[in-house]
Structure formats: C-alpha cells, structure tokens
Amino acid sequence: MTPKENYFRLLSGEIPEYIPTMFEDRAGRFNEELLTPQAAPDGPVVTSWGVRYVGAPDMNFGAMPDPAQKLLPDITKWRDYIKMPDLSGFDWEKYYTDKIKDIDRSQKYIAVGGGDYFLTLVSFMGFEDTLLALYEEPEEVKALLEYVSEFYLTVLKKQIYYIHPEVLGMMDDDSAALAPFFSVDMYKEFFKPFHKLHTDIAHENNMFVERHDCGKCEAFIPDWLDLGICSWNPAQTMNDLPGIKKKYGRKLAIVGGWDHIKYDNTCDVDELREALYTYVDTFAPDGGFVFSAMIGGPPDDPETKKRQDIVNEVYEHYAKDYYKTH
C-alpha cells in the first residue's frame, strides 16, 4: 500500500494499514501563484490581488502580509481599491499542465488550497480594521467577500478541470491561542457560506476536504463536520484534543496534537521519549490520527538532531505499526 493509499484510507474514516506521518512523501506539491502564498523565502511575494507578502527566518519564512502595506483604508470604498485579477486570455491548460507534469499520480495525490476569506480581508486592510468592519459594516464585508469568492471559485474550478486533485486543503486561521477572533455565530454569518461553496464543489468532484486552523478553534468543529471536512491540522494542544477524539472519533482525523512548544527545546531525552509514547497512546487508538511530532531548533545543531532522532525512532519502532502491535 502506497503512502497515498494509506492516507486516503484514513481520510475515508477507516483504520489505515499504518499510522501516517505528517512528513511522509505522499503529496505531489506545486506552487500556486494565483492564491495566497504559503512561504516567502526569497523576498517579498506580490499576489494577483496586489498584496505584498514577506517572510522572516524566525518564522520559517512563512508568508505574512507586509504590515507596511494597506491596500484598503476604508471597507465602504473597497470597490475603488480592490480589483479582481484580470485573467482574460490566461492559458489555464498550459499553466496547470506545466505545474503537475513531473508528479507521479500513481504514487502521490494532489491537494489544492484556497478558501482563506478571513485572512484575505486581513491582507487587504489589516487585522484590527477587519474585525471592526465585521461589526460596523457587515453588508460591505459580505459584498467584498462575494467579489473575492468569484475569483477563488474560478481558480478552484479550473484546478479541478485541468488537474483533477484529490484533496482540498482549506486554510483560514481564525483563532488565537486562547480563543477565536470572532464568535461561532459570526463564522456562520460571514465565512461558512463561502467555505461551503468550496466544499460543495470539492465533494461533487469526489475530493476529500481537510482543514488547517491554528489556535483554540474547537468551537468551529461542528460547522466543519457540517461542511464535510474530514481532517484537521495542526490540531494544537490548547484545544481539548482528547475530548475531541472521544466525541468525534474517526469523523475528524487529528493531524497534529503534538505539544511542540513544550518539547521543542527539552534537554531531557527520557522526558521527550516518554512524552512521545504518551502522545501516540492518546491519539492512535481506533484510528483518525497522523503522527505529527516535530522538533524545533537549528537543523545543524547536534542537540536538535539528537532530539529529532528520538522522534524518528519512536515513530519507526512504536507508532508506525501501532495497529499491528496493539
């Protein structure tokens, strides 16, 4: 069974042959320039909407909107400032054919992204102004989201037509470490309808739908399940993950659950090893789990390598074949 087949078994709600790891080579990846960039390691990246993203070494070059830029100073004037990318005459077939020509589809699946409506607003007008706009000008926010959605859905439909992806990975970080940025009711009002447009198209085309959401976002899980989302990463530990696993089981695979903040820099190898065993024993039983333990620190640091070797050892000799040995 290939890593792709094994992972799809997990996403289908079945117990996989072995516990997948977040870092195995199962996905054929390509850089989608038409959507929000994930990284900016080589300097600023300007999107088709005109948003400038920057990265920094201490953030692993993850792409963030440049705080020095604000495209939209007033939500009520968005029609003057936000212009849909002009793709008239764009060669969609060549664009996507070139992107995936070297991916072995028998061994790897293709996941496409999108649906980051809250973060798109933040990229246009900043975090504080976005939250104020949700309260002060809700109808203008919805009108702007409808405008943005027209483009995002066009890209998704073209991806499906030319690439035939198997997975939709929806990313829209909407929570801090202690609480979401807005209420569940506001999610239902502003963002869920647009997320549903994406998930409906994905399900119509037999795609799995995964959700990326950092922070304490567990309040949104019932809505995710209503949208047909079947896995969640990075499933951070400020959420009640044991309770979530008990309540939802294999309906929502936990692709994460590792307390990297606590164990990134631990010098006690016995403590680290024991934490890894506990991690696996907590989330592996009855499936719905992807081993996602990671170690921070400079990769060329001997101490980092020693800790990473322990992670690899526990995965290979304890976690991977858990369903054969337990």
Does residue 84 sit in the same domain as residue 126? yes
Does residue 90 sit in the same domain as residue 178? yes
Does residue 83 sit in the same domain as residue 147? yes
Does residue 40 sit in the same domain as residue 95? yes
pTM for the predicted model, two decimal places: 0.95
For the chain, the straight-line distance linking the first and the last C-alpha, in angstroms and rounded, comes to 20
Structure tokens given for 73: 């100073």
Amino acid 58: pLDDT: 75
Q: How far is CA 83 from CA 59, 77, 87, 144, 319, in A?
A: 30, 12, 12, 10, 49
In a domain, 132, yes or no: yes
Nearest Cα to 231, choosing from 183, 149, 288, 146?
288
Does residue 210 sit in the same domain as residue 91? yes
Amino acid 264: pLDDT: 81
Report how many domains make up the chain.
2
Chain position carrying tokens 């070297």: 102
Does residue 144 sit in the same domain as residue 293? no
In a domain, 105, yes or no: yes
Does residue 17 sit in the same domain as residue 55? no
In a domain, 244, yes or no: no
In a domain, 249, yes or no: no
Phi-psi region of 242 (alpha: psi -120 to 50; beta: other; left: phi over 0): alpha
How far apart are the C-alpha atoms of 115 and 168, rounded to whole Å?
10
Q: 112 near 163, Cβ under 8 Å?
A: yes
Where does a domain end: 185, 200, 235? 235
In a domain, 131, yes or no: yes
Query: What range defines the domain where residue 273 resides?
Result: 1-24+258-326
| Sheet strand arrangement including 64-65 | 45-46, 52-54, 64-65
Where does a domain end: 204, 235, 266? 235
Does residue 173 sit in the same domain as residue 111? yes
User: What CATH number is associated with residue 142?
Assistant: 3.20.20.210
Does residue 35 sit in the same domain as residue 17? no
Where does a domain end: 173, 204, 235? 235
Amino acid 261: pLDDT: 86
Rounded to 5°, the CA angle 168-114-202 comes to 35
How far apart are the C-alpha atoms of 140 and 232, rounded to whole Å?
31
How far apart are the C-alpha atoms of 125 and 141, rounded to whole Å?
11
Across the chain, mean pLDDT equals 96
Please identify every stretch of the chain with a pLDDT value under 50, giving residue numbers as ranges. Answer: none
In a domain, 240, yes or no: no
How far apart are the C-alpha atoms of 238 and 196, rounded to whole Å?
26
Amino acid 156: pLDDT: 98
Instruction: State which amino acid sits at residue 77.
Output: K
Residues in the chain: 326
How far apart are the C-alpha atoms of 40 and 64, rounded to whole Å?
8
Does residue 207 sit in the same domain as residue 130? yes
Amino acid 10: pLDDT: 98
